[in-house]
């Protein structure tokens, strides 16, 4: 259940970060913005599987956390091009910032809940005939 909620929030995050218009940005900047949107949508798609792998859950935490860090650092650190691809998002910054934070937190909750909910696979029960064969063959 937590994995599906994380997938939903990641999908919303990917849609919000999708660059609708190029707005005169160079092709490379537009490609990076498109790639950031795809990086949110890919873990969302993989989380819809019945039992997502732990690396997928880890990526589902790391990607939105990196986007949240980029959103926070854009005004503090002058990284070339960082502000250019952050303004190409479909949603305004006051939506994309909290959305990536919510995506990272729900994915982290899904990651924490996943190992606790796993149970070892049941082992086949030994039948009396199989036990007797092992004893007689030794």
Summarize pLDDT for 49-101 with one digit per residue, the tens: 777 778 888 888 898 888 888 878 777 776 666 677 777 788 887 888 888 88
Please tell me the total count of domains within the chain. 1
Q: What's the rounded Cα separation, in Å, for the pair 134 and 44?
A: 49
**Which residues, 6 or more positions from 45, have their beta carbon under 8 angstroms from its beta carbon?**
7
Q: Which residues pair with 89 in a beta bridge?
A: 19
The two tokens of residue 20 are 């609708």
Q: Which domain holds residue 29?
A: 2-137
**Which residues, 6 or more positions from 92, have their beta carbon under 8 angstroms from its beta carbon?**
none
Mean predicted confidence (pLDDT) in 17-41: 83
Q: What is the pLDDT, as a whole number, of residue 79?
A: 64
Q: Which residues pair with 19 in a beta bridge?
A: 89
């Amino acid at each position: 259940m937590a994995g599906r909620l994380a997938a939903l929030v990641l999908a919303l995050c990917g849609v919000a970060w999708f660059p609708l218009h190029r707005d005169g940005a160079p092709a490379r900047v537009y490609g990076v913005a498109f790639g950031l949107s795809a990086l949110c949508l890919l873990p969302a798609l993989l989380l819809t599987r019945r039992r997502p792998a732990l690396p997928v859950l880890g990526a589902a935490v790391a990607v939105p956390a990196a986007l949240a860090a980029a959103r926070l650092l854009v005004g503090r650190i002058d990284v070339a091009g960082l502000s250019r691809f952050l303004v190409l998002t479909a949603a305004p910054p006051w939506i994309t910032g909290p959305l990536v934070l919510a995506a990272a937190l729900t994915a982290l909750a899904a990651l924490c809940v996943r190992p606790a909910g796993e149970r070892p696979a049941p082992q086949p029960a030994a039948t009396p005939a199989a036990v007797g064969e092992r004893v007689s063959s030794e």
